[in-house]
Structure 1
Amino acid sequence: MTYEVAIRAEAALGEGPTWDAVAGRLLWIDILGSRVHTYDPASGRRTVRTTDQHVGAAKPRAGGGLVLNLRDGVGLLDPDESFRWLHRDPVPGRRANDAAVAPDGTLWTGTMRYDEAPGGGTLSRVTGDGSVEVVLDDVAVSNGTGWSPDGRLMYYIDSPTRRVDVFDFVDGRPVDRRPLARIEDGAGFPDGLTVDADGCVWVALWEGGAVRRYTPDGELDRVIDLPVPRITACAFGGADLTDLYITTARTDLRSPHPLAGSVLVLPGAGKGLTQPPFTG
């Protein structure tokens, strides 16, 4: 499987690829650059918006606009580009990281400390009215979150554990946490993830230079090697959701690969799932 360069860029910490099916575009962010990017593969049109603080994720909203997982909380970008806070909870030394929208339209937001201290991060469930419930409060680096095609399983990554965990998802809550897969020493750390239409879990490997696909039983059945060491996240996109978009980072690399910070794509990699918008 051969990669292509979708967007040549030098993002410090490219992250969070998300296919906006209504707009027919890819959303992605540069966390440390405080930028939200869009890319229309049909026309090649790109946009960028700079945020006032580090941004961990950007997801479409049901009524238009975006919801942003920001350093100090969750904010809303309205269709007219105006901004307002939905939930604000600044904690010194902590920032937002990856986020995902559950099948019920709630936003699951991750946080972490800048120093990546164990227990300094959280995973929270945010409803459309701004109510927040901390689901996991002992996290180091909250990262990929996703759900099985039938919505009965939730997958989650706290990167330093080197695990991809799976929960039963019952009445909108995760229960019975257990490992789905473990990343061996020397293969990098699991970062972002996405789930395909077959229920397989695709995992980006930070410092591993690869994307892996695991079956619902946790069997490793595909490894896609890439030239950039810091692979951060992946998501299916395109009109038929068959192209796998992959974000990368160049932060703290002594000799960055020329494509570090770019967005790569694997055309025809598989079949993705339509992602629900946030209800807020």
Structure 2
Amino acid sequence: MSRIDASVPALGTATVATDVSHFLGEGPTWDPIRGRLLWVDIMDGLVYDGRLTDAATVEIDERIEFPDTAGAVAVSAAGEWVVAGTHRLYFRDTRGRIEAGEQLVDGDERRFNDGKPDPAGRFLVGTKGPGPEELLRVDLDGTATVLDDDLTLSNGLAWTRDGRTLYSIDTMTRRIHVRDYDPVTGATGARRVFLELAEGHPDGMTTDGEDHLWVAVWGGGCVVRISPAGEVVGRVDVPAPHTSCPVFAGPDLDTLVITTAIEGLSEEQRAEHPLSGRLFTVRTGHRGNAPYLWAGRPRIRARGAR
């Protein structure tokens, strides 16, 4: 198990970037074509569309409401969005029209959670609920394939720069998994444990240009940098206990944007951490990788087997 303590070097100071406090801010996504930052407030079913300023603050331009929850958002080269709803994906075209896909998961207490495009533009998305949870891959032809069916809470996803290694988080076990990944076909190798945290719960994550992971630690009030060897080599402290997801944004991909939440905080904790739920930014001296874009709306046909 890996511990996060005072011996881990600090990688800059996170500063508040917005005035809006989110109940469950999540899934920041950089749109490199339009220079936009997208993120979600899951339980309110909102996708936020904003601009990253030169001062590393975020100006909100739009709040788009979806029919139920909004677990994650991804963007295509043309500017279409895919949003992970409660039991299905939603598609927003470039005119702002929203259409629902077919139901892909069941259960009144289950919903889609974190999701991202893979190197070929497929959409990987996991579930959250009371029972064994899944990680699905929605292929280019619309077929949904189960990659994992034994998770406690499917969360962050990230690939190495060459697209040949997939990292995925199972939050309640505090584990980051790793497996081989074929960026052309989407085929996966055997899953294995890459790292297990000793405290806090890993949530969303991203990678940098040196193939290090940046993982938000829910309950830990920080984002940690993890080497390809599985060592915690840096941290960014955030004045909000529930850090949920980081992403590198901006034209040079040198600004780390971090979402946070107030979900699960007591009244005393909210008073002690009044900036909880805000977006934060920090320049760490590291740069991220160009984000993978979604391939565009498929025709969902049928749910496949692993």
Q: Quick check: TM above 0.5?
A: yes
Q: How far does the alpha carbon of each residue in 1:23-51 deviate from its partner, in whole angstroms, 9 at most, with x for none?
A: 10111000011110011013834211111
Q: Report if the CA contact (8 A) 2:90-2:98 is conserved.
A: yes
Q: Which residue pairs with 2:288 in the alignment?
A: 272
Distance 1:213 1:174 in 2: 25
CA distance in 1, matches of 2:98, 2:143: 18
Q: Alignment partner of 2:295: what SS?
A: coil
Kindly indicate whether the alpha-carbon contact (under 8 Å) linking 2:33 and 2:77 is maintained by their aligned counterparts in 1: no
CA distance in 2, matches of 1:85, 1:273: 31
- Cα deviation for residue 90 of structure 1 reads 4.8
The 3-state SS of whatever aligns with 1:174 is coil
Q: Unaligned stretches of 5+ in structure 1?
A: none
Alignment partner for residue 259 of structure 1, among 243, 259, 275?
275
2:302 is aligned to: none
Tell me which of 166, 172, 176 is aligned to 2:186.
172
The 8 Å contact of residues 73 and 88 in structure 1, kept in 2 or not, is answered as yes
Question: 1:235: which partner in 2?
Answer: 247
Q: How many residues align?
A: 274
What's 1:182 paired with? 196
Structure whose residues are more often strand by fraction: 1
Partner of 2:74: 59
Structure 2 residue aligned with 1:32, among 43, 47, 50?
43
TM-score by length of 1: 0.94
Task: Name the structure 1 match of 2:126.
Answer: 110
8 Å Cα contact 2:14-2:236 kept in structure 1: no
Percent sequence identity is: 35
Q: 1:69 to 1:269 in 2, by over 3 A?
A: farther
Q: Partners of 1:163 and 1:251 in 2: how far apart?
A: 21
Alpha-carbon spacing, 1:90–1:56, altered in 2? closer, same or farther (3 Å): same
Larger Rg: 2
Shift of 1:68: 0.6
Structure 2 counterpart of 1:46, which letter? D
Amino acid at match of 2:48: H
Specify the code of the residue in structure 2 equivalent to 1:219. E
CA distance in 1, matches of 2:34, 2:101: 23
- 1:149 corresponds to 2:164: no
Q: How far 1:247 sits from its partner (Å)?
A: 0.3
How far the C-alpha of 1:96 sits from its partner, in A, is 1.1
**Cross-structure match for 1:86:** 101
1:209 aligned onto 2:225: no
**Separation in 1, partners of 2:77, 2:67:** 24
- Structure 2: segments with no counterpart, 5+ residues: 1-11, 297-306
Cα deviation code 1:49-91 (max 9, x no counterpart): 1111011001102332200111021111001111112332352
Q: Residue type of the partner of 2:147?
A: V
Alignment of 1:3-82 (within 5 A): 3-42=14-53, 44-82=59-97
